[in-house]
Structure 1
Amino acid sequence: MDCTTSPSYSNRLLDSLPEEDRKRFLADCEIVDLAFGRKLAEPGETISYAFFPIDCLVSLIATLESGGRLEVSMAGNEGMVGFPLMLGAEKSSLQAVVQGAGAALRMSSACFQDHLERSPALERLMKRYLNVLMSQISQSAACAHYHSLEARTARWLLMTHDRTRGDELRITHEFLSGMLGVRRAGVTLAAKALQRRGLIDYQRGRITVHDRPGLEAASCRCYATDRKTYGQMIERLA
């Protein structure tokens, strides 16, 4: 399948490139299917590929020697995995795990860095995306310190909903507690509070979004800030 012309193999970040740059870039990509739970990067390991999700979702996770884990960002159709390559780095500082199965465009790290050198438009776009990513990570750190768990849970569900197809999310309380860096009991209380308000429905291993506007109202302002930053830095280039 020619991913240079098919809209079904689209990534919003790459769609922001000028047409000729986009076609040249996609010509060197391959389409891969990523299964749930697959690890695309590990801290300290060499980065072999850059990934540009089509309809999959990837969590970027900071890990501690004690075994603690905290999601600091996520990448879906709007982004990429392998951002250290933009800076000429060869190793990852974060773990990247597929949270939602699906397809992605994949390019070798050497080829990606070659395109960066040959395409000023790609270099500018990647720098803007890196700025968005840094803003999102900073926002998440502040959000974890200042905002209620219920608001943070709503924000996380909205971010996941944005990057997946459909209203049903495959998420366990154990996984969500790890991503938010809190105890499972706390996530359970937050999810039940959102469910009582009719915003979501939770069953074992699955959360269904019923009231998207209501979920946005329940979230802290960090969610709207993240979307605004992306729109200002990336989408206006398309």
Structure 2
Amino acid sequence: MATPQNHLIELLPGKDRLHLLAQCEPVELILAEVLCNAGEPTLHVYFPTEGFISLVATVAGSPGVELGMVGSEGMLGAEMVLGVATSPLHALVQGQGTAWRISARAFRGELGRSASLRRQLNRYLYVVMAQQASSATCLRFHLVNQRLARWLLMSQDRAHSASFHVTQEFLAYMLGIRRVGITSAASALQRQGLIEYHRGEMTVLDRGGLEAVACSCYAADQQAYAELLR
């Protein structure tokens, strides 16, 4: 079985990739672990290889809403590319797995020495901006079942599996809606034979059908990534 990799790191030329990895350490991503809070200093940058992380915008007096997701296609700590050492979002491990972790100081050094790293991560920043714009639009204009289908597809992509663990409470939190809305939307997808959900275990049964239900935001996000980060 192939060793899990991070796509951003794999895009680098061999010499730059090896130099960056020499500054990194492998870490476990633990389910529900908080990796950083909004407004706090960025101490580490993470490049997931397995597992995935939710990026959540929080507002005083509310639980917050997910604006992005990071798996083996991306990185946590993208603000460092702009020279900003403060996290704008709350980062929560959504799917347990592994990641490469590098200190903020060492990461700044790598950005200074590698033009290839700067170029790839500048492109990734655009993808992140596009994803967050899509999420904001999705939250305002699209139906719950469309948003849920998009979220499940994004999670499956990063879990690299048709099955993953998620509770209805967590889904409601991520999508910024009441649990009753999640229950109704998930039940509808289940009746259509698109998913199976039992005791926190979600299984995608018909990916093509789920893509047909999902709003256009999912395909737009996929296209932006494919065009800029091949």
- Local SS of the residue matching 2:28: strand
Segments of 5+ residues of structure 1 without an aligned counterpart are 1-5
Whole-Å separation in 2 of the counterparts to 1:22 and 1:131: 21
Which portions of structure 1, spanning 4 or more consecutive aligned residues, are displaced by more than 6 angstroms? none
1:145 to 134, 140, 146: 140
Which residue in the other structure is 2:43 paired with? 48
Counterpart of 1:26, as a letter, is L
Counterpart of 1:83, as a letter, is A
Which residue in the other structure is 2:26 paired with? 31
Whole-Å separation in 1 of the counterparts to 2:199 and 2:119: 43
- Local SS of the residue matching 2:50: coil
Say whether 1:127 aligns with 2:119: no
- Fraction of identical pairs, as percent: 44
- Local SS of the residue matching 1:133: helix
Whole-Å separation in 2 of the counterparts to 1:133 and 1:27: 26
Which residue in the other structure is 1:18 paired with? 13
- Local SS of the residue matching 1:174: helix
TM-score by length of 2: 0.97
Which residue in the other structure is 2:188 paired with? 193
Q: Residue 69 of structure 1: CA displacement?
A: 1.1
Whole-Å separation in 2 of the counterparts to 1:43 and 1:194: 34
Which residue in the other structure is 1:103 paired with? 98
Counterpart of 1:53, as a letter, is P
1:59 to 54, 58, 68: 54
Number of aligned residues: 230
Q: Residue 72 of structure 1: CA displacement?
A: 0.3
RMSD (Å) for aligned C-alpha atoms: 1.2
- Give matches, 1:145-164, under 5 Å: 145-164=140-159
Whole-Å separation in 1 of the counterparts to 2:141 and 2:119: 33
Whole-Å separation in 2 of the counterparts to 1:168 and 1:7: 20
Whole-Å separation in 2 of the counterparts to 1:209 and 1:80: 25
Q: Residue 67 of structure 1: CA displacement?
A: 2.9
